[in-house]
């Protein structure tokens, strides 16, 4: 078994790491403090081709799912907030279009993503979180298109998105069979941004309420066939779980790196704390768990690149990596002691940013449910 990257992947990882260290890491704390969307860095990412990663080459994209996972980990190491902007943009919101969109839709939207345009994936509602089949947003078909009415909540990139991929049902009584997927562009009459959430972490990315008030969507913006929206949404979420695993990995590795550096410098009782067994055991556990999480995550990404079944493996990667990041960030704060609870040190931000990885794209409980059903063979 070969667990190493090929030369092209190694070069890409080195380039992404260098970009993150130069262009992202020095600004990450200020983005967190200001809660401002980092438009300037998104433009720089587009200029060097990083917004193209994982998208189809025929529309200006480059690389594959494994490259996208590499990129996500490296960006998250510097800024988890920027990482979620990127994976919602070129991943979660792009998957429905790349997998099920018409040639016209791909030609209209994918090149814009490559150039740095912002998009969002709007599925969650107040009554439909872990159960997306319970969405209340409705649509009515008209000769010229569709009329959408309803409200979405907790939508990443919602406030800045140039377009959103959203989901609505033509009849709530039909459950998942009534759901269809649509592209709604900024400026569409009846489409507006509502409340912006104030969050614990990932501050550079917006989390917004989106309102569809008799929103008129042209018929050419229907993704796939009517009634296939539920399946389209699940495919996008399943694929994006691996990227959330990579985001959690990046946060965890950053926390470990910070803890190691601090332990080698901080002196107590006449010696650096790295010489104390209690610290060494925490470092050993952190490094071991990160390594295991990385193997799970990159195995799932490898399966995706080979277009092999990966539902269970993606859920395992997301579950384990996110919970490892939780434990690693907790230990990192412990190693820093009181300083780790202040905003003078990045581990405080890592601990806040990490928490969301156990919630979005399916909570840890939903990942366990998915894994168990796969193992047990329950449909």
N-terminal to C-terminal alpha carbon distance within the chain? 31
| Contact of 331 with 340, CB cutoff 8 Å | no
> In whole angstroms, what separates CA 230 from the centre of its chain?
19
- Strand pairing report for 207-218 and 191-196: antiparallel
Q: Is 361 noted as a catalytic residue in this protein?
A: yes
Q: What does the CA dihedral 156, 160, 165, 167 come to, rounded to 10 degrees?
A: 70
* Distance separating alpha carbons of residues 233 and 56, to the nearest angstrom: 19
* Distance separating alpha carbons of residues 189 and 245, to the nearest angstrom: 37
Task: Fill in the DSSP letter of residue 125.
Answer: B
Task: Give the list of residues 6+ apart from residue 128 with CB closer than 8 angstroms, or none.
Answer: 134, 135, 136
> In whole angstroms, what separates CA 275 from the centre of its chain?
37
- Active-site option among 125, 289, 323, 361: 361
Task: Fill in the DSSP letter of residue 62.
Answer: B
- Continuous segment of H or E residues that includes residue 347: helix 346-354
Residues designated as active site:
361
């Amino acid at each position: 078994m070969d667990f190493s990257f090929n030369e092209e992947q190694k070069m890409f990882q080195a380039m992404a790491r260098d970009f993150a260290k130069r262009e992202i890491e020095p600004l990450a704390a200020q983005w967190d403090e200001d809660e401002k969307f980092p438009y300037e860095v998104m433009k720089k990412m587009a200029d060097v081709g990083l917004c193209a990663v994982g998208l189809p080459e025929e529309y200006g994209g480059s690389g594959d799912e494994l490259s996208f996972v590499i990129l996500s980990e490296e960006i998250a190491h510097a800024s988890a907030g920027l990482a979620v902007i990127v994976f919602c943009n070129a991943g979660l919101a792009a998957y429905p279009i790349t997998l099920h969109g018409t040639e016209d839709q791909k030609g209209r939207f994918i090149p814009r993503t490559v150039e740095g345009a912002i998009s969002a994936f709007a599925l969650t509602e107040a009554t439909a979180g872990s159960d997306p089949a319970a969405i209340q947003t409705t649509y009515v078909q008209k000769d010229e298109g569709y009329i959408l009415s309803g409200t979405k909540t907790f939508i990443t990139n919602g406030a800045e998105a140039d377009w959103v991929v959203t989901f609505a049902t033509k009849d709530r009584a039909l459950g998942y069979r009534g759901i269809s997927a649509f592209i709604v562009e900024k400026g569409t009459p009846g489409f507006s941004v509502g409340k912006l959430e104030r969050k614990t972490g990932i501050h550079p990315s917006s989390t917004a309420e989106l309102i569809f008030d008799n929103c008129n969507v042209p018929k050419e913006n229907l993704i796939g066939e009517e009634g296939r929206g539920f399946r389209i949404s699940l495919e996008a979420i399943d694929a994006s779980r691996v990227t959330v695993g990579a985001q959690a990995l990046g946060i965890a590795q950053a926390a470990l790196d910070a803890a190691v550096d601090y332990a080698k410098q901080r002196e107590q009782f006449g010696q650096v704390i790295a010489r104390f067994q209690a610290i060494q055991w925490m470092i050993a556990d952190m490094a071991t768990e990160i390594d295991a999480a990385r193997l799970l995550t990159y195995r799932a990404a490898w399966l995706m690149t080979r277009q092999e079944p990966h539902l269970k493996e993606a859920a395992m990667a997301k579950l384990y990596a996110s919970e490892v990041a939780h434990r690693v960030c907790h230990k990192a704060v412990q190693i820093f002691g009181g300083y780790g609870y202040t905003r003078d040190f990045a581990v405080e931000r890592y601990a806040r940013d990490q928490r969301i990885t156990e919630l979005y794209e399916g909570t840890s409980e939903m990942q366990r449910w998915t894994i168990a059903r796969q193992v047990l063979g329950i449909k």
